[in-house]
Structure 1
Amino acid sequence: MPRISPERRQARREQIARAAVEQFAARGIHSTSMANIIDASGLSAGALYTHFTGKDEIITYVARTTVSGIFTGFSELLHRSPPPSPGALMERITERIDSADVPVGFIVQVWSEAVTNPTVRDAANEVYGEAFGFLHQYSRSWLSTAGGLDGQQADAQAPRQARLFISLIYAHILQSSMLDSYETPTFLDDVAGLFPSG
């Protein structure tokens, strides 16, 4: 049997993930079966199971890659002095969320699944940890430059600001997935005053 190149393997995983997300968005996670995902992917069951062991693994893969995609390229912001303002960073993050290939409703479904599914819960905690790690570093950098705090003060304040960022990101995801009247620009205007202005 010929070996599949890493690029081809990754392309197949993405194909399966896209098909699964379409099914999750249309049916909900609980109502989507592996048979639904197999049919939507256009692959055989054998081909699909060489890439994923089951629905939980697909869910966790999509959740991880979605969050990674939101923060891709943002690490360079940590090397700017000063880094962009918290409001500007929130604007960039919400733009990434709003333009992602994965509907925000899927992320909310993942949170719901994580309440009772240990595998998905582990992935959700991993995703949170990665996002918090970046936002903690960013907050430390912002507070010690444009925020006007000394190093010790910035160290003490950074975790709190990172948690605020996470809460606002989650609020944006939840509201944009559920509320017809929700508008991202209004949300960004409302939260602008929550961060130190420097």
Structure 2
Amino acid sequence: MARVSQAHLDARRRQILDGAALCFARNGFHATSMQDVLKEADLSAGAVYRYFSGKEELIGAIVGEVLEVLRETYEGAAVETPPPLPDMLIPRALRQLMEVRPGLLESGEWVFPRLMVQVWTEVLRNRELADLVQTGYDRVRAAWARVVESYKSAGLISADADADALARVMIALAQGYAAQLAVIGDLPPGTLEAGLRALMSMRDPRPAV
């Protein structure tokens, strides 16, 4: 029997994950059956179950991959000189997700924002998925905090800025933007960058105490 290459195995796994992600984004986790995933991926049950035991494992793999891409993006930014500011970094992170998951297109629309909303809904009732998201979130938050420390070292932000608080807010901002895309649809090009630059330009008018 011919040996199957690792590249083939990886491509098949990606085919399954992309098919599942499209189904989950389109119909939600509970309304999607494994039969729907098989049809979307155009694979047999045996081919899919070789990699994943069911929907729970599929959604866990999808979420874990997304969080890892974000962590790697922010870890990389933390060692750049100078570190990219939020108006560059957050759009970069979203672009990285698009590059890693190019299969998440349906009728030309990137479905990741809708998938994200579905995942957050499922987290409210699925303890195992909630734990996975919490672990991934903590790693992404720690990576963002290192970016903030790089800002401090470069003199781009106050030395007493709360790195963890800023990390949480930056993550929330990206999540909120993705939620807008999911609910409202396409926003004008450059909206995220322009909004971040405007926010960064604000100055506190109150006298220093």
Question: What TM-score do you get using the length of structure 2 for normalisation?
Answer: 0.79
- The equivalent of 1:164 in structure 2 is 169
Q: Distance in 2 between matches of 1:93 and 1:196?
A: 22
CA positional deviation for 1:23: 1.7
1:5-45 CA deviation, whole Å, 9 max, x = no partner? 43332222111111112222332221110111122222221
Question: What TM-score do you get using the length of structure 1 for normalisation?
Answer: 0.83
Note if contact 2:78-2:150 (Cα within 8 Å) is conserved in structure 1: yes
After superposition, the Cα gap between the structure-2 partners of 1:110 and 1:77, relative to the gap in structure 1 and judged at 3 Å, is: same
Structure 1 window deviating more from structure 2 (45-54 vs 74-83): it is 74-83
- The equivalent of 2:195 in structure 1 is 190
Q: Distance in 1 between matches of 2:37 and 2:172?
A: 32
CA positional deviation for 1:75: 3.2
Structure 1 window deviating more from structure 2 (128-137 vs 183-192): it is 183-192
SS in 2 for 1:116: coil
Letter paired with 1:68: E
Note if contact 2:141-2:168 (Cα within 8 Å) is conserved in structure 1: yes
Q: Distance in 2 between matches of 1:146 and 1:196?
A: 16
After superposition, the Cα gap between the structure-2 partners of 1:58 and 1:26, relative to the gap in structure 1 and judged at 3 Å, is: same
Note if contact 2:77-2:83 (Cα within 8 Å) is conserved in structure 1: yes
- The equivalent of 2:32 in structure 1 is 32
Please state if 1:129 is matched with 2:107.
no
1:103-128 CA deviation, whole Å, 9 max, x = no partner? 21011101101110122212221331
Please state if 1:54 is matched with 2:54.
yes
CA positional deviation for 1:56: 0.9
- The equivalent of 1:10 in structure 2 is 10
After superposition, the Cα gap between the structure-2 partners of 1:187 and 1:175, relative to the gap in structure 1 and judged at 3 Å, is: same
Report the identity percentage.
27
Letter paired with 2:187: Y
Note if contact 1:16-1:41 (Cα within 8 Å) is conserved in structure 2: yes
